[in-house]
């Protein structure tokens, strides 16, 4: 049984004060503990204050990026050992990192290895561009990205991580993939895992959908058998919409 996850990617939003306020609001709105893992990925600066303030709250914490080296002359970067003990997860290879900051399948692979070495759970992002989608290349692009990101990892490492399918054309556009398409491509991700590492690994690894997920479409998305959660940008910045998505998912997964 894969635990469902609602992962809020706050991107470059929220001061420390705003992050604390938002977290408190979410906690109040969600109320009693649910079976859904609530993951908050605020900017680096908010991680320590949130870790302290949210110790008694049911949140997991994640970073939005990390470097692959432990330390060194890399101005402005944050390394896995700095995050160890502070966060549970780290988002790796988000399409904004790939498109705006020159990240490649190779750097994504190095970061994934580095995160796992330091007991951080990577959330590896893959997704095709609009052009690739329109040319019918989605399956080939996703297969190549997943294979490259996981290159050299053991079966045990792969089943411990999370993969997020985020079509680039759906991110921040209000134009989500249909639940059916999202489900199919998450199924394709799982098929790649099956081919690389066998049934047990494919059945244990969590696969998320991301791209304009919101309270209106989350139910249909979460009904898809191969989707284990969502990576949520815009809708995670509003306490009400994020809390609603947690509650709707909890409802779907309640026995
Ligand atoms: P969005 O962002 O929900 O605002 O589309 C998703 C993401 O970038 O992870």
Kindly report, residue by residue over 118-163, the tens digit of the pLDDT. 999 999 999 999 999 999 999 999 999 999 999 999 999 999 999 9
Rounded to the nearest angstrom, the distance between the alpha carbon of 73 and the centre of ligand 1 is 31
Query: Is residue 234 lining ligand 1, measured as CB closer than 6 Å?
Result: yes
DSSP state of 169: G
- Mean predicted lDDT score pLDDT of the chain: 97
Query: Is residue 214 lining ligand 1, measured as CB closer than 6 Å?
Result: no
Cα–Cα distance measured from residue 84 to residue 81, given in angstroms and rounded to the nearest whole number: 5
Rounded to a whole number of angstroms, the CA Rg of the chain reads: 17
Cα–Cα distance measured from residue 81 to residue 89, given in angstroms and rounded to the nearest whole number: 13
Q: With contact defined as beta carbons under 8 Å apart, do 29 and 8 qualify? A: no
**What pLDDT shows up at residue 10?**
98
How is residue 152 written in tokens?
């050299």
Task: Pick from 91, 127, 172, 208 the residue to mutate for probing ligand 1's pocket: most ligand atoms within 8 Å of its CB.
Answer: 172
Nearest alpha carbon to residue 83 among 113, 121, 110: 121
Sequence-ordered list of residues with C-beta below 8 angstroms from that of 141, at least 6 positions apart, any chain: 126, 128, 132
Q: How many of the other CB atoms lie within 10 Å of CB of 112?
A: 28
What is the CATH topology of the domain spanning 5-253?
A: TIM Barrel (3.20.20)
Give the residue carrying structure tokens 């290879």. 93
Helices marked H in 59-217: 80-83, 95-100, 105-117, 130-134, 138-149, 155-160, 179-197, 199-204
Dihedral (Cα; 178, 215, 167, 195), 10-degree rounding: -80
**What pLDDT shows up at residue 43?**
98
Positions in the chain whose pLDDT score sits under 50: none
| 134 bridge partner residues | none
Helix, strand, coil: what percent of the chain each, to 5? 50, 15, 35
Task: Pick from 171, 215, 230 the residue to mutate for probing ligand 1's pocket: most ligand atoms within 8 Å of its CB.
Answer: 171
**What pLDDT shows up at residue 42?**
98
Instruction: Please state whether the predicted TM-score (pTM) of the whole model is above 0.75.
Output: yes
**What pLDDT shows up at residue 151?**
98
């Amino acid at each position: 049984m894969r635990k469902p996850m609602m992962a809020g990617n706050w991107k470059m939003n929220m001061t420390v004060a705003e992050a604390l306020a938002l977290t408190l609001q979410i906690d109040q709105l969600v109320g009693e503990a649910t079976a859904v893992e609530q993951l908050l990925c605020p900017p680096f600066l908010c991680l320590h204050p949130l870790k302290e303030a949210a110790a008694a709250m049911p949140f997991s914490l994640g970073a939005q990026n990390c470097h692959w080296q432990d330390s060194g002359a890399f101005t402005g970067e944050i390394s896995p050992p700095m995050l160890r003990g502070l966060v549970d997860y780290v988002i790796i290879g988000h399409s904004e990192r790939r498109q705006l900051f020159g990240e490649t399948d190779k750097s994504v692979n190095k970061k994934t290895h580095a995160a796992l070495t330091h007991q951080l759970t990577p959330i590896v992002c893959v997704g095709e561009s609009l052009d690739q989608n329109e040319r019918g290349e989605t399956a080939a692009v996703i297969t190549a990205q997943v294979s490259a990101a996981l290159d050299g990892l053991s079966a045990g490492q792969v089943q411990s991580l999370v993969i997020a399918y985020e079509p680039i054309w759906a991110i921040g556009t209000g134009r989500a993939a249909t639940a059916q398409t999202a489900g199919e491509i998450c199924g394709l991700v799982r098929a790649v895992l099956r081919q690389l590492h066998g049934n047990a690994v494919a059945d244990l690894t969590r696969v998320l959908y991301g791209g304009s997920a919101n309270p209106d479409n989350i139910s249909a998305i979460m009904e898809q058998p191969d989707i284990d959660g969502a990576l949520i940008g815009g809708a995670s910045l509003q306490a009400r919409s994020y809390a609603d998505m947690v509650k709707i998912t909890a409802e779907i997964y309640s026995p």
